[in-house]
Amino acid sequence: MAGLFSIIESAKKGIHSSRIGLEVTSHNVSNANTPGYTRQRVELSSSDVLSSKLGMINPGVKVVGIKQIRDIFIEGEIRKTLNSLGNHSVEREIFSRIETIINEPSEVGLGRLIEKFFNAFDDLAKNPEDRALRVTVVQSAKALSQRFNDIFNSMLGMKKDILSEMDAKVKNLNEIIAEIGKLNREAVNLYNSGAETNDIKDKINQKLNELSKLVDFVASFDESGAVKINAGGVTIVNREQVKKIEMKFFDGKVKLISTDDGIEAKLNSGEIFMLQNSFNDLIPDVIEGFDRLALNLIKKINDIHRLGYGINGATGLDFFVGTGSGSIQVNKAILENPNKIATSIDGNPGDNQVALAIAGLRKDENITNFYNSIVSDIGLRSKISSDNENLQKMILNQLESQRDSASGVSIDEEMLNMIKFQKMFEASARVIQSVNEMIDTILSMVR
């Protein structure tokens, strides 16, 4: 009789194991389209062998765990690619905005306005006393200086927009950090209670993917599945403990500071890094380039113009005033009286040496060629960032396909598992039924 009851116990374990297998299969099927879900598999093992007078007895099967089918390497590569993609996406967007502001090539672009300005002086050199040509010079100079001003102001406006975007991204960063801290607490509590933490691990991994777009970081996991995260030299998450990050200004530059200990997070990539880099360096460098161009234009034209005479004999007059792209303007005296535009080197009405010299500045490398180099550099960097963004998208698609093939749910495979566990359940039940009939037979024999 004892042997028969041991068979029932073994079959009961088979029913228990097949039930858990069906539960895991059902869970997989239910989450087949859940973003970030990792396929799970029940791990079965034979129970420990027991010794008896009749020999060795195997008391059946046992569930040793529910394992996630995941590739840690691919998941790490996905996070790296998401980080790089976020970096290049923001970079491409920044350069796209800069190109829109510069608006080249076009009739209202700075390059065309510089050309029109020198053409106006060239025409004036042919007839220095023509009032209409002098007005044309003034109007072309006004349009040129206004375009410089517009580019400068647009760049400042862009910096303001970037700061607003960065503020929103940092708030999102802090929200994700807080959510990861809560998930870590849940993972630790479940682990300590002996429960499975697979679903919590999936949620943590999903949050890490969201975090990857924003900042570069190093993550390490403990046995419960809770994660420790270091970003830019700051441990922003350590189990349930989190550190909030905020923006602060130092010497006109924005830095990311941990509010708990005042440590600066020095990022290397990601959306927040690129916004920070654009505000601190990229946009100021572009503005500095246009300032140099405007200053060269102001200085070289004024150096020549001060030597000449206008129709009314005026001399020593600057044509432009200002110190850069944001302040360049046509001298008010010339705006009010175009006759003060210097064209003659000796004061003779028909002399045009000053006008010709100013028109000749179109060949100066520090003006036209320098501007072309600015535009070319921006265009090239925009193209590179766009190509890098497309490359990272392609790599991400390939990695996600590899992840899905390894960790995604296959409905066909789950249906086979369902049939397998169903048959296991039915067979174990039949064993119990058969043993029960045998026990009834034995009991009827002893009555």
CA atoms within 13 A of residue 378's CA, in its CB half-sphere: 25
Please give the Cα distance from 251 to 98 (Å, whole number).
24
Kindly state whether residues 205 and 342 are assigned to the same domain.
yes
Selection from 277, 288, 299 nearest residue 152 by Cα: 288
323, 295 in Cβ contact below 8 A? yes
The answer to whether position 239 is within a domain reads yes
425-446 tens-digit pLDDT = 888 788 778 877 777 777 777 6
Kindly state whether residues 10 and 102 are assigned to the same domain.
no
H or E segment to which residue 40 belongs: strand 40-46
pLDDT value of position 135: 96
| Confidence at 143, pLDDT banded by 50, 70, 90 | very high
Average pLDDT (91-101) is 95
Kindly state whether residues 15 and 51 are assigned to the same domain.
yes
Kindly state whether residues 418 and 438 are assigned to the same domain.
yes
The answer to whether position 436 is within a domain reads yes
Contacts of 121 (CB under 8 A, 6+ apart): 137, 355, 358, 359
| Confidence at 142, pLDDT banded by 50, 70, 90 | very high
The answer to whether position 82 is within a domain reads yes
Kindly state whether residues 59 and 98 are assigned to the same domain.
no
Please give the Cα distance from 384 to 187 (Å, whole number).
42
pLDDT value of position 98: 96
Kindly state whether residues 120 and 42 are assigned to the same domain.
no
Selection from 366, 318, 329 nearest residue 149 by Cα: 329
Please give the Cα distance from 431 to 58 (Å, whole number).
15
pTM: 0.85
Please give the Cα distance from 246 to 14 (Å, whole number).
56
Please give the Cα distance from 317 to 339 (Å, whole number).
12
Please give the Cα distance from 271 to 215 (Å, whole number).
7
Q: Which two tokens stand for residue 226?
A: 């809770």
289, 297 in Cβ contact below 8 A? no
Output the CA–CA distances (angstroms, integers) from residue 440 to 4, 431, 432, in the order listed: 11, 14, 12
The answer to whether position 403 is within a domain reads no
179-203 tens-digit pLDDT = 999 999 999 999 899 888 888 999 9
| Confidence at 341, pLDDT banded by 50, 70, 90 | very high
DSSP code, position 283: H
Kindly state whether residues 418 and 341 are assigned to the same domain.
no
The answer to whether position 251 is within a domain reads yes
Selection from 62, 79, 68 nearest residue 27 by Cα: 68
Q: Which two tokens stand for residue 58?
A: 């195997």
pLDDT value of position 197: 87
The answer to whether position 151 is within a domain reads yes
Kindly state whether residues 205 and 327 are assigned to the same domain.
yes
Residue 241: which domain range? 77-395
Kindly state whether residues 230 and 175 are assigned to the same domain.
yes
Residue with tokens 């010794």: 51
Please state the domain count of the chain.
2
Average pLDDT (393-400) is 94
The answer to whether position 267 is within a domain reads yes
The answer to whether position 13 is within a domain reads yes
Please give the Cα distance from 311 to 342 (Å, whole number).
8
Please give the Cα distance from 18 to 168 (Å, whole number).
49
Beta strands in 144-291 (DSSP E): 218-221, 227-231, 234-238, 241-242, 245-250, 253-258
Kindly state whether residues 310 and 194 are assigned to the same domain.
yes
Average pLDDT (407-434) is 82
196, 41 in Cβ contact below 8 A? no
Instruction: Say how many Å lie between the first and final Cα of the chain, rounded.
Output: 15
Please give the Cα distance from 25 to 417 (Å, whole number).
7
Give the amino acid at 280.
Answer: N
Kindly state whether residues 150 and 211 are assigned to the same domain.
yes
Kindly state whether residues 114 and 171 are assigned to the same domain.
yes
pLDDT value of position 8: 73
